Amino acid sequence: MKSYSDRVVWITGASSGIGAALARAFAADGARCILSARNVDALGQVRRSCREPDRHVVLPMDVSRFDSHGELVGRVYDEVGPVDVLVVNSGVGQHGGAVETELDIVRRIMDVNFIGAVSPARLVAARMAERGSGQVVAISSVNGRISVPWRSTYCASKHAMHGWFESLRAELSDRGVRVTIVCPGYIRTSISKHALLADGSEFGSVAPQHLSGMDADVFARRALRAIRRQRAEVHIGGPEKWAIQVFRFAPLLFRLLVRGYGRKP
């Protein structure tokens, strides 16, 4: 696809970070964006930062309220039109030990990161299949391919995304629906600041890896190129993305190295 001019692109988790940057990138490419998240004020700011802000739509959405998703999808199709690209991006980070993290926090992370992506994707993908065209973009993580200490449930949620969206691709490939999985490395966002500790409280500061990470708008431009080419999967970031290849070709070495990764919260 040469451009997304006049295409409808729906982005969840669009109020900040990667989602906001993707909104600006798609808007600059001519798309009409539907911006969803819980923070309506932040969504309004993102819309104003986009090219031709009046073309874009703010649609408040809590991805963990699964019972509301059917109504929201219906509103989008009735009021805006068919979705050409769905970007499921909402997510919450983690900074807590696997044993110490309370089960309700495990469930909360899975609800947002995994089921919160699957729920709107299955509804929109069904309509895309009926129409015979469309693209679903799942924003995963390098941690969707490797696992590291103190991120057990976050890693699990992203691994689960890969399993589900790979199956979706295989099932709908002959019905005109394309699936792209994007795996960011360290991107300069506040996801680590709002990451959940073992007791459910927030980490409260931006991790050094994110402070020195890739600029979110640079990431978005690279991601847009891969999405436009309908790549099956793309890894975008700094040197950390090569950990996927280390794990693939030297898993024992990776497992030895990863023991010293990060710090205990």
| Structural domain harbouring 154 | 8-258
- In the predicted model, is pLDDT for residue 146 greater than 90? yes
Q: What are phi and psi of 30, to 5 degrees?
A: 100, 0
Residue 263 included in any domain: no
With respect to residue 174, please indicate whether it lies within any of the assigned structural domains: yes
- Which region holds residue 61: left if phi is over 0, alpha if psi is between -120 and 50, else beta? beta
Confidence band of 32 (pLDDT split at 50, 70, 90): very high
Is position 122 within any domain?
yes
HSE-CB of 67 using CA atoms within 13 angstroms? 0
Answer whether residue 42 shows pLDDT above 90: yes
pLDDT tens column, 162-204: 999 999 999 999 999 999 999 999 999 989 889 999 999 999 9
- Torsional sign, CA 233, 155, 21, 9: positive
Measured between alpha carbons, how far is 188 from 99 in angstroms, rounded to an integer? 29
Q: Is residue 2 part of a domain?
A: no
Task: Count CA atoms closer than 13 A to 142's CA, side-chain side.
Answer: 19
Which of 4, 154, 186, 261 does the annotation list as catalytic?
154
Q: Is the pLDDT of residue 65 over 80?
A: yes
263 has pLDDT over 70: no
Is there a domain that residue 265 lies in? no
Whether residue 265 has pLDDT greater than 70:
no
Can you tell me the mean pLDDT for 101-117? Answer: 98
Contact 183, 166 (CB under 8 A): no
Comparing 86 with 208, the larger pLDDT belongs to 86
Specify if 3 maps to a domain: no
Please state the φ and ψ torsions of residue 244, each to the nearest 5 degrees.
Answer: -60, -40
Contacts of 211 (CB under 8 A, 6+ apart): 188
pTM of the model: 0.96
Segment 126-131 shows an average pLDDT of 98
Closest CA to 186 of 264, 107, 262, 108: 262
In a domain, residue 247? The reply is yes
- Could you tell me the CATH number of the domain that includes residue 61? 3.40.50.720
CA distance readout (Å), 233 to 82, 176, 180, 201: 24, 18, 6, 33
Can you tell me the mean pLDDT for 201-209? 89
Residue 173 CA to residue 179 CA, distance in Å, equals 8
Q: Does 234 reside within a domain?
A: yes
**Residues above pLDDT 90, as percent of the chain:** 92
Q: What pLDDT, on a 0 to 100 scale, did the predictor assign at position 112?
A: 98
Residue with tokens 């929109």: 124
Give the number of domains in the chain.
1
Residues 192, 37: Cα–Cα separation, whole Å? 18
* Catalytic-residue membership of 154: yes
